[in-house]
Structure 1
């Protein structure tokens, strides 16, 4: 079944997450702050409630990502990006926001604070082996394929 179910929490008078355009990959998530705004000082993280519980389709996750406008204009990031809401989680969804900027940022009720992408999850069998196959890259790690 391909249905995304939202349970609106008390105090949430906001629109449910929705796609802004027909081609959008992510749904806008809004800050559910009926008690008032939250200020995020430079270098600090705040957990902002989204005002709902979600039931995802089997075999999916909800990835919570930064909004490009907030990131580029205000340096507001999702520090665990992408944050994951697992299929079997049934608690309130919240978004961790990091102020990587130099000025305090205020989040108010209804602000679009992040985007959520529904992604398929693969769960392969886990096995221990004595060796792995060889590749051209081998064990070359960070920067091993060049800087530019």
Structure 2
């Protein structure tokens, strides 16, 4: 699949780091380093603008290494870029650790997965089909 992209950053386009990776790393596009303090949220620019085909979304997800090593995540994970959005992709990071985290220009801050989605239309009914699970949820299996 080919997707139109504008890159105003000085960094290479997002790419898959391994042959079977689902996500491509996004890099911070900053003019100066920033410090993300504990429990602080920060919208970090990437310098990327994309034109997704109708029926697709770009999911912005945390990087597992940043989450594990530094407690850095995304507030609204996964964030969604809709097909009709034309603004810059920015990543809403949060520092869940108890120490400051420095972000510099070019740091890999998130990953992006492009995925197909369906558009639904609701059909109002009086009863739903039966399943073995039924209404069980929120730990109903005891595991």
Note whether the superposition's TM-score is higher than 0.5: yes
Residue 59 of structure 2 is aligned to residue 51 of structure 1: no
Name the count of aligned residue pairs.
Answer: 143
CA contact (8 A) 1:37 1:108 kept: yes
CA contact (8 A) 1:66 1:81 kept: yes
Q: Distance in 1 between matches of 2:19 and 2:4?
A: 20
Alignment deviations for residues 74-110 of structure 1 (CA, whole Å, 9 cap, x no partner): 0100121111001111111100111000101011100
1:98-137 residue pairs with structure 2 within 5 A? 98-137=94-133
Q: Could you tell me which residue of structure 2 aligns to residue 81 of structure 1?
A: 77
Alignment deviations for residues 1-53 of structure 1 (CA, whole Å, 9 cap, x no partner): x21121123xx1111111112211100100010x2011111011111001111
Q: Could you tell me which residue of structure 2 aligns to residue 39 of structure 1?
A: 35
Q: Could you tell me which residue of structure 1 aligns to residue 5 of structure 2?
A: 6
What TM-score does the superposition give when structure 1 sets the normalisation length? 0.92
Q: Distance in 1 between matches of 2:88 and 2:125?
A: 39
- Of residues 24, 27, 35, the one that matches 2:24 is 27
Secondary structure of residue in 2 paired with 1:19: coil
List gaps (5 residues or longer) in structure 1: none
Q: Distance in 2 between matches of 1:132 and 1:3?
A: 40
What TM-score does the superposition give when structure 2 sets the normalisation length? 0.95
Residue 59 of structure 2 is aligned to residue 63 of structure 1: yes
